[in-house]
Amino acid sequence: MQQKLKRKHAMTFRLTEKERYMIKKRQEQSGIQNMQAYLLKIAIDKRVIHIKSNRVNEVKRLLYRILIR
């Protein structure tokens, strides 16, 4: 039997109607019926990749040099 978690902390945030629709659509596609469960799952299990723009520019410059040869 699964143990019931006691969650003591709450988080709230605002979003546009379009953002709400997009989240709801992805939730439905995932098959997870509970919005809280869905948001917790994607917030904890997914990765956010942050790329420093100076590194991207360096890669673009190097690719350009390769392509014009």
Give the structural domain span for 38. 15-46
Q: Note whether residue 29 is domain-resident.
A: yes
- Output the pTM of the full model: 0.60
- The Cα–Cα gap between 13 and 15 comes to 7
pLDDT attached to residue 48: 64
Q: Note whether residue 63 is domain-resident.
A: no
Question: Do residues 15 and 6 lie in contact, with contact meaning Cβ atoms separated by under 8 Å?
Answer: no
Q: Note whether residue 39 is domain-resident.
A: yes
Q: Note whether residue 27 is domain-resident.
A: yes
**Which amino acid is residue 26, in one-letter code?**
R
What separation in angstroms does the CA of 68 have from each of 3, 41, 64, 65? 61, 45, 6, 6
Give me the average pLDDT of each 10-residue run along the chain (69 residues). 80 96 92 92 81 82 86
pLDDT attached to residue 2: 61
Number of structural domains the chain divides into: 1
Which residue is it, tokens 């673009």? 60
